[in-house]
Homo-oligomer: A and B are copies of this chain.
Amino acid sequence: MRADAQRNRDRIVEVAREVFREQGYDASLDEVAKRAGVGAGTLYRHFPARENLIDAIMQSWVDRVDEAVAKALAHEGPPRALLLSWFAAYVELISLHKGGPAKITSAMGNPDSPIVHKCQVLTRASDRVVARLRDEGALRPDVDSVHICRLVGGVAAVADQGGLDQSAISPLLEVLADGLLVPA
């Protein structure tokens, strides 16, 4: 890629991150282009669809997912606490931008989505949690990490769109944990 193209691409991503954080994933792309000081054509050449831009923004975010799952696994404690800790991290990670939970969760399992590989990062992270719990015999045998991602993503989507805060989310996540773990 030519140096100027790289420069513009980087700048667009940087600005988009800012604009999306302010206004959510529905923000105007022409606005992003304008603030980045490039023409609309340049933006759309680099990112033919809005989703491609979102995907690029999330690049740095992948690292945070790995950190979060490592932290959750490192924490000693009963399976329920581990699961709840991962759920909370999961919700936070996908809720960084308004509209994120719905966007990510609905792309889950759709191989044609431009953000498919971001979804894989999440399912793989959940896989690690699932594997640990399964080792301990704490997880119901018929659940897998896609189920978990959909359930927790659903809660996050509702919370995001309905403006729920932490205290409203927690009881919902607890129900999920109780439904996923084998009865004590």
17 pairs, A vs B, C-beta closer than 8 Å = A106-B162, A107-B162, A108-B158, A108-B162, A140-B175, A150-B158, A150-B162, A150-B164, A151-B172, A151-B175, A153-B158, A154-B155, A157-B158, A174-B179, A176-B179, A178-B179, A183-B184
Which chain B residues border A162 with CB–CB below 8 Å?
Answer: 105-110, 150
Q: Which residue of B lies closest to A109 (CB)?
A: B162
Q: Which residues of A are at the interface with B, using a C-beta cutoff of 8 A?
A: 102, 105-110, 140, 142-143, 147, 150-151, 153-155, 157-158, 161-164, 171-172, 174-180, 183-184
Q: Contact between B172 and A147 (Cβ–Cβ < 8 Å)?
A: yes
What is the copy number of this chain in the assembly?
2
> Could you tell me the dominant secondary structure of chain A's interface residues?
helix
